A and B are shown apart, each in its own frame.
Chain A
């Protein structure tokens, strides 16, 4: 899994830069998460595909990844959250504070997901076919 994640880094950087320019708030959060990670060297690859859940928001709200990517969600709130795709492709159990969930995207497509505890919390993963 880790090997996979490292392989996709160059593609991801380009994609996430594009996404970040649209969502400055998400950039700030992502940066905060990155700087808070003490073992940056070993987790840099994971961070690029990690969505933090903080203050009742998925950050970044939208993420684009190449097919085969494993996306991680980590809940930083004291309140539990879940990650459930609208089309039931993936579903986490309840994530308590600091719990994580991961899902590997093997099929291209647009996946909308929601927290099944707080429906106001929504996110999207766009999975691009390999070139």
Chain B
């Protein structure tokens, strides 16, 4: 079912609906081109599930917000538990899970402990994380790093390789400037440039960070002020997938060989950009909530190396 056409009008229309959380999306990235499918197709016959034809690569889980208890979702533990059950029931599970941040709501130790206990039930071998701003709101910024700081030596950014794909975890939720966007900072950018130097342009790259690495809506801080510099280092690669969380809804774009995609939350939806006073929890009828929560699944296709991305909701 994979097609080489990234955005035919029908699918663009479907994607627009998806931004409102009505369903899920399934993407196939072929030779650097991302193609969205709607979830009805993804949930249909197996022959219509391109993600199932590749090598399971990783799952993206995001914005679990353990500790949130307001009316938009009084049971975030329950929805994360459902998400984990959904993942564990997948016929072809990847070895990796990447959590793109906001593991907790308030960076409290008990929240981190609950999240760790829940995520330990994921039937996968490796968990990678990048913090969201909600994970670093303890005044000393130690709770996250004491638990998840090891791979990055407490810097928050690191890279690793898996199945021939180069993964880069970036951190963009520290040191916000007034009225600013997220930022990576010079030290991290220099590290990124060095990390990519000498790598073959045919290596598929997956970059993940919590806040969007492109500007979706500046008035709400939905962007990263120095992301252009990071993208300039990535531009020469044939297949780059940039995954973010933060905005609790799917928004995506393709620029050259770089595909940008934000994931749903497992906790609660947020409004579309600019709707209402700010990016707070969006209260929806409880029947609709599962349709607005979910995970993303990325598989690898060989010859040529390409990535497929599926979004699945709890509904």
Contact = CB atoms under 8 A, between A and B. Distances in A.
Interface of A: 55-57, 77-80, 82, 86, 91-94, 96-97, 112-114, 116-120, 122
B280 A79 contact: yes
A119 B181 contact: yes
A79 B281 contact: yes
Given A93-B137, A119-B221, A114 B281 contact: no
A77 to B, nearest CB: 7
B177 interface: yes
Nearest to B67: A96
A94 B279 CA distance: 16
Contacts of A117: 133-134, 137
Contact of A119 (B106, B107, B178, B280): B178
B179 interface: yes
Interface size on B, as a range, is 20 to 34
Interface of B: 70-72, 105-108, 133-134, 136-139, 176-182, 219-221, 277-281
Q: Which 3 residue pairs are nearest across A and B when measured between Cβ atoms?
A: A56-B278, A119-B176, A94-B137
Given A56-B277, A96-B106, A80 B179 contact: no
A86 B107 CA distance: 20
B277 A114 contact: no
B280 A77 contact: yes
B135 to A, nearest CB: 10
Contact of A122 (B107, B133, B138, B178): B178
Contacts of A86: 177-178
A57 B279 CA distance: 12
